[in-house]
Amino acid sequence: MTITYTCYHVPSSCEQDVASASFQTLTFENHGKKVELSVPQITPVLIESVMAQLKQQQLNYVSTLRTNDLIDIFDQAIERWLDPEFELRKLAEELLPIITGYDREMIRLFLSRYLRQFRKIKLQRMIDEDFPNPLVLDEFRPRKAGGVYRAYGPGVITHIFSGNVPALPLWSLAAGILLKSATLGKVSSSEPLFPVLFAKTITDIDPRLGDSLAILWWKGGNQSIEEVSFQSTDAVIAYGGKETIETVRQKVPTETSFHAHGHKVSFGLLTKECLQTTKAWQAAKLAASDASWFDQQGCLSPHVFFVERGGAYSPKDFAQMLANEMANFQESHPRAHLTEEEQQSIVKLRTSIEFESFEDPTVSLLKSESGTDWTVVYRERGEENLFPFSPLNRFVTVVQIDNITDIKEYMSQIKGFVQTVGVGCAPHSFASIVPLLGEFGVNRICALGSMPHPEPGWHHDGRFHLADLVRFCDVESTLEKQMDLFDVLRD
């Protein structure tokens, strides 16, 4: 069975030019079905025309809107997507499993949970987190030090989306819309569909706002297209691995602001209180969820769980519990199909660890027997205090520690690259764990079981989500005082 869909979005004034362009097909096959996405072949002339229209629409319309107007429009779009009967939601649930290979039910559950993070009150909270006075995005407001000030978003933002997790580009799309910026979004070859569908939803609610959005695919690294788009934009937001980020960085003009979200790693930390009686099984289930959602493809997914000894169950017992729970997760939400290269990387590492375990009883390998669906490695002692990176795709290591401070040695290797730590602890441990992690550069600390699901307003990569993108205009109090001198109505 083959499903076809024309996959792009541009301002209405550019529609005819794009429709008359040559098209190519992106093909995806999973779960016994095939999807063919028809995408226009973008040329420098075409992208220049699109960028010109985006700039005009941002200046003539988007910049005149109040922030609350934009929040209301975005909220309406989210409410549509939360309706299981919404046509585009049903289309996404049908096509995304075939495009990504992920389990259909996992995508359905994720969309419902993820989209709720963009409801009206959550968007307001996102803005309030970055701006003490959100009205500063709409008008000049008084400064505590005197004078007034206002924040201006970029006129046009070019987004280089990642495709490792479906719908993830919504964070970046939301930022641009809330800051009254026009959007050029380059979709990933791994998942080019969702941003297009969401842009069409915005257009259906407010066609003029939809005309400030362009969502297109082109092959990454296309020099001529990226040269035109980067020179015509005010800011570039890029997601991807180190190589992608550096390639994009070199192409962005010095006068254009560049915001990179590169590769990060995450891990879990459990104190001995989590290994008491039935709590241990609960902790294992939460940890298995963190390690299994979207097959560890996101930066928020754990590579390792550091487990403190001294509980009713040992860290080795916990590793067995975790293996059982990962097997249960596999039953309810099967892992995506892997490439031959991905399969071999897991098999190779499994084989190496298995040989190691023959000679070292402090190392154990627990694995799915029918394939590479999941893997749990247990280490009583870390391997020369090196952080045990995962080949991903539900492959996780449990490392026993004597005390939570032991993780310092492992973190030294990844300092500055830690995105999230999922913590399971008792109240008396909280006060010592949080400063330890914060001082080592961790960007986000959350509850075990919450790692793939950040809350609204979180500081991605330790930075402001919105405030990093704006420029401020300060009007100093000297003008405020001096203007009275020239007041014609002054006595």
- Coil/strand/helix, residue 405: helix
pLDDT at 383 over 80: no
- Coil/strand/helix, residue 394: coil
| Mean pLDDT score, 304-331 | 97
Residue 491: the pLDDT is 64
**3-state DSSP helix/strand/coil percent for the chain, to nearest 5?**
45, 20, 35
Question: Residue 152 pairs with which residues in a beta bridge?
Answer: 471
- Identify which of 38, 90, 65 has the alpha carbon closest to the alpha carbon of residue 211: 65
Residue 253: the pLDDT is 95
What's the CA gap between 475 and 147, in Å, rounded? Answer: 5
Domain map (residue ranges) of the chain: 44-83+112-263+464-475, 265-442
pLDDT at 60 over 80: yes
Residue 487: the pLDDT is 82
What's the CA gap between 441 and 437, in Å, rounded? Answer: 7
- Identify which of 98, 107, 87 has the alpha carbon closest to the alpha carbon of residue 3: 98
| Mean pLDDT score, 225-247 | 92
| C-alpha 31, offset from chain centre | 25
* pLDDT 10s digits, 90-121: 999 999 999 999 999 999 999 999 999 999 99
The alpha carbon torsion through 201, 202, 204, 205 (nearest 10 deg) reads 120
Q: Are 120 and 72 in contact (CB under 8 A)?
A: yes
Neighbours of 372 (CB within 10 A): 21
What's the CA gap between 41 and 7, in Å, rounded? Answer: 12
* pLDDT 10s digits, 385-435: 689 999 999 999 999 999 999 999 899 889 889 999 999 999 999 999 999
Please check whether the two domains, 44-83+112-263+464-475 and 265-442, share a CATH topology: no
Q: What confidence tier does 484 reach under pLDDT thresholds 50, 70, 90?
A: confident
User: What are the Cα distances from residue 131, in Å, to 126, 183, 472?
Assistant: 9, 22, 11
Q: What confidence tier does 31 reach under pLDDT thresholds 50, 70, 90?
A: very high
Q: Where are the beta strands (DSSP E) in 58-192?
A: 141-142, 148-152, 156-160, 182-186
Residue 402: the pLDDT is 95
Neighbours of 85 (CB within 10 A): 7
| C-alpha 43, offset from chain centre | 29
Q: Are 260 and 238 in contact (CB under 8 A)?
A: yes
**Domain 44-83+112-263+464-475 indexed as CATH 3.40.605.10:** yes
Residue, of 460 and 113, whose pLDDT is higher: 113
* pLDDT 10s digits, 17-29: 999 999 999 999 9
Residue 195: the pLDDT is 98
What's the CA gap between 8 and 195, in Å, rounded? Answer: 9
* pLDDT 10s digits, 199-220: 999 999 999 999 999 999 999 8
Q: Name 341's Cβ contacts closer than 8 Å, sequence gap at least 6.
A: none
Q: What confidence tier does 459 reach under pLDDT thresholds 50, 70, 90?
A: confident
| Token couple for 189 | 């070859």
Q: Are 161 and 185 in contact (CB under 8 A)?
A: yes
CATH for 265-442 (3.40.309.10, 3.40.50.920, 3.30.565.10, 3.30.470.20): 3.40.309.10
Residue 241: the pLDDT is 85
- Coil/strand/helix, residue 159: strand
Residue 102: the pLDDT is 96
Instruction: Provide DSSP, 321-353.
Output: HHHHHHHHHHHHSPPPPPPHHHHHHHHHHHHHH
| Token couple for 77 | 């779009």
- Identify which of 41, 44, 54 has the alpha carbon closest to the alpha carbon of residue 10: 54
